Amino acid sequence: MLIRMLRQFFGRGNRRTGVSLSELYAMHYGKVSDKWAMYLDVYGRIFGEYRERPVSLLEIGIQNGGSLEIWSQYFYNAEILIGCDINPGCLALSYDDSRISVIVGDANSDSVLSDVIKKSKAFDIIVDDGSHISEDIVKSFFRYFPLVTEGGVYVAEDLHCSYWEAYHGGLFDPSSSISFFKLLADVVNIQHWGIEMSPKDLLAAFNCPEDFTVSIFEQIHSVEFVNSMCVVRKKSSTCNVLGHRVIAGEIEQVVGGLRNLHGTTCPKHSQINNKYSVRPEATVKVIDSWQTAVHYNPRS
């Protein structure tokens, strides 16, 4: 009991003085949270700028619910922290922190989405730690990325599962979740494709819903990969174009003519005759119907 009280005291007392996420995990005594060690370092880097803000956070897949307790300490000024899990056992989870709430059900159902929106219409941070099945991950991105605020982040965890057949994936499976996020990296660079193709055309095999519009694709600012994770940042579409060329300085001793390019935009090069602007037939995979997803899988 004494150790628990000390951990609670120091955990709460130090949370405003730069205690790292790894340190919060080390001193945590409450509900169990299961994260890979690398994730804690990555989250410390990408979430640091949000730490003092009144953030709204949604986590899909919470198991025993411990991550919500730790997020509440890490984001000590958070306004709302929502966990969603399909496991009915999560109905028994309760918290002293009124900012934390739990929704039980399939995150990819309309009813759960409605319940989420009733609690918060927008989120600064969304973490998908759900079933890890490829089609579930893709469906969740389409469903919840529109709720991310401008300047917010969407994180998909445990993408190592996208290489495993049991989770409907494989290294060369064009319908795996990792293949989906790789294509999102192409969407970031759409102004350079040089062909008439929309993001929805590029992602046709993933059954992009009608309400996920081109304007939402235009808000994808960056797609970052680290081991087993993908971090998608959202910004206004005006922040996501290459913009004009900026030339500084006066002396052109080696390469001349650059100063005249100041203020010009990136040239457009048609790629309609580029054989690599056509999707190779060997990688084409039209998905008529995905297998019924297994929505609850303990982490392997």
Active site residues: 132
Query: Nearest Cα to 175, choosing from 285, 262, 293, 289?
Result: 285
Give start and end residues of each alpha helix (H) in 58-176: 66-74, 110-119, 134-144
Query: Nearest Cα to 71, choosing from 275, 62, 161?
Result: 62
How far, rounded to the nearest angstrom, does the alpha carbon of residue 277 sit from its chain's CA centroid?
A: 28
Beta-carbon count within 10 A of 213 CB: 13
The first and second tokens of residue 45, run together, are: 């880097």
Query: Nearest Cα to 153, choosing from 50, 33, 21, 70?
Result: 50
d(CA 80, CA 140): 20
Distance from first CA to last CA of the chain, Å, rounded? 33
